[in-house]
Structure 1
Amino acid sequence: MLTGSRINETQSLETLRGKHSGVLFIVASGPSVGEFPLERYAKYPMVSMNGSICRFAEAGVRPLFYICDDSSFVRNRLPLLQQGIASAQNIAFSPRVIETLLALVPDALVGRSVYGFERVNRPVGGREPMGDRQFAWAARKDADFECHFSLFRQKPNRIGFSRNIDKGYFSSRTIPYTGIQLAYHLGFQQVFVVGMDLDSSKGRFYEQGEDAVGSRLDGDYEDYILPCFELMAKRVVSPAFQVYNLSLDSRLPGTVLPKLSLDQLDALLAAL
């Protein structure tokens, strides 16, 4: 938590746990966002992240949440971050994002509704985090967490899903996964993810040419991204919590997360 004259104390997401229901759209930054008619679904609550906020500005839609956990995005795309701060109903930032932002623009968050969130096993107050294996073993006993565990390899211990984001979230090295954990925490039952193409060669819809910032998606896909989504599909997705991918060309297989066309989306929404 950060306090001081530049920002009121960040609020706890625990106060919003289970307060919502129904449908939520999560809008990421893949190029397929350009093909999604955001305006058509503006009546539904939405989560924006990083640079996807510029699509909301074009559509005149105010997202329920704007989230960011990447301090490099603050440095590289400050105007977009400020756009998200100005237009979203609520903001959820990691401590490093807040610190980086306030160092650049001290009054950036004054008067805004700001929620702090952090990755699992990153305790506040100066306490040291557990080792990955130790944390994963402890998390196996916590009903709010689903995670892998290995005594022999480090990476499996970083694969998981948090049902209570106030206790932290598993990053999966891609922010749409964080958004899905937030959706679960808030109480939504049907989650539709837009622009989750997961292909760094295609870039982000809001960047072009030399303006583009490098992506680590390809390097993280096999080790973190795919395993986290596979775990979520097996242990978290259920009739009470359903997640769909609206990017038909997404790298993530439809066997892991079902892919929907717009016609299929409209039919499903009409049936709810």
Structure 2
Amino acid sequence: MLTGRRITDTQSFETLRGMHSGPLFLVASGPSVGAFPLERYAQYPMMAMNGSVCRFANTGVTPFFYICDDSAFVRDRLSLILQGVEFAESLAFSPRVIEALIAQAPDALVGRSVYGFERANRPVDGREPMGDRQFAWAARKDADFECDFSLFRQKRNRIGFSRNIDKGYFSSRTIPYTGIQLAYHLGFQQVFVVGMDLDSSKGRFYEQGDDAVGSRLDGDYEDYILPCFELMAKRVVSPAFQVYNLSLESRLPGTVLPKLPLDQLDALLAAL
């Protein structure tokens, strides 16, 4: 079994494993977030990520978790990550994010509930990571991981899903996928993803004009994003763990993740 290594001076996600149930909303940064009536679903736990936290301002809705694993986001959008630190009940940050944030705002995390998390195969004790193929082969023997393996195509060895965030997560090159893995770890059974449009031409809902930061979505979609979601749909999603895409115009096909309009969302929630 692959052992999880926790990040020093942060709380461990192991203490939260399976502690929750029911539905969770993940709020991403695609422009469709603007049309989503956040306040209507305020009674349900919500997870904000990166810049999507600004959608919570002035709504009276407090994010259950705020997650960020990109140190470049701290550099480019310091005011937004500080909103997340202020608004959210708990924080999930990678070591790179924590280091970058403390460098710019030394007291930002004082008194806050911070959980550290890291990508799979990224040891935090100074050891070198395994090669991608070696790790993918080992992960196949661990019930906490679903992972592709290939001797011939290196990228396939980076495709996977983690059921135990304390052991690391697969990035898929898009943070909603990280949020879904965290939702599974926490025990939620229905995950509703808001604003996962996955179209770089539409930008992020909180950016305009020259203020926009470049996106790698188009370059990563075929190699990492789509294969990870396809693996999850085939090997993780089940009657006990369901994931729905609330972005009807999302690039991700409805055959991979079902797309729900609001009336069907309301009916599904009413039936739970």
Asked whether the two chains share a fold, i.e. TM above 0.5, the reply is: yes
Say whether 1:200 aligns with 2:189.
Answer: no
Deviations 1:3-32 (A, max 9, x none): 6xxxxx200000000000000000000000
Deviations 1:15-58 (A, max 9, x none): 00000000000000000000000000000001000000000113
Question: 1:2 deviation in Å?
Answer: 6.4
Q: Distance in 2 between matches of 1:200 and 1:58?
A: 27
Say whether 1:95 aligns with 2:95.
Answer: yes
Deviations 1:181-236 (A, max 9, x none): 00000000000000000000000000000000000000000000000000000000
| Structure 2 partner of 1:123 | 123
Within 5 A, what are the aligned runs for 1:123-162?
Answer: 123-162=123-162
Amino acid at match of 1:41: Y
Amino acid at match of 1:163: R
SS in 1 for 2:58: helix
| Structure 2 partner of 1:240 | 240
| Structure 1 partner of 2:45 | 45
Say whether 1:216 aligns with 2:216.
Answer: yes
SS in 2 for 1:249: coil
Q: Say if 2:90 and 2:114, in contact at 8 Å, map to a contact too.
A: yes
| Structure 2 partner of 1:175 | 175
Q: Distance in 2 between matches of 1:204 and 1:104?
A: 24
After the TM superposition, which segments of 4 or more aligned residues of structure 1 sit over 3 Å from their partners? none
| Structure 2 partner of 1:11 | 11
| Structure 1 partner of 2:31 | 31
| Structure 2 partner of 1:262 | 262
Amino acid at match of 1:142: D
Cα RMSD between the aligned structures? 0.8
Q: Distance in 2 between matches of 1:60 and 1:117?
A: 28
Deviations 1:224-268 (A, max 9, x none): 000000000000000000000000000000000000000010000
| Structure 1 partner of 2:79 | 79
Q: Distance in 1 between matches of 2:110 and 2:214?
A: 31
Unaligned runs of 5+ in 1: 4-8
Q: Distance in 2 between matches of 1:80 and 1:58?
A: 14
* TM-score normalised by structure 1 residue count: 0.97
* TM-score normalised by structure 2 residue count: 0.97
| Structure 2 partner of 1:6 | none
Q: Distance in 2 between matches of 1:60 and 1:266?
A: 21
Amino acid at match of 1:261: P
Aligned residues: 267
SS in 2 for 1:150: coil
Unaligned runs of 5+ in 2: 1-5
Q: Say if 2:7 and 2:117, in contact at 8 Å, map to a contact too.
A: no
Question: 1:77 deviation in Å?
Answer: 0.4
SS in 1 for 2:146: strand
SS in 2 for 1:161: strand
Q: Distance in 1 between matches of 2:257 and 2:11?
A: 32
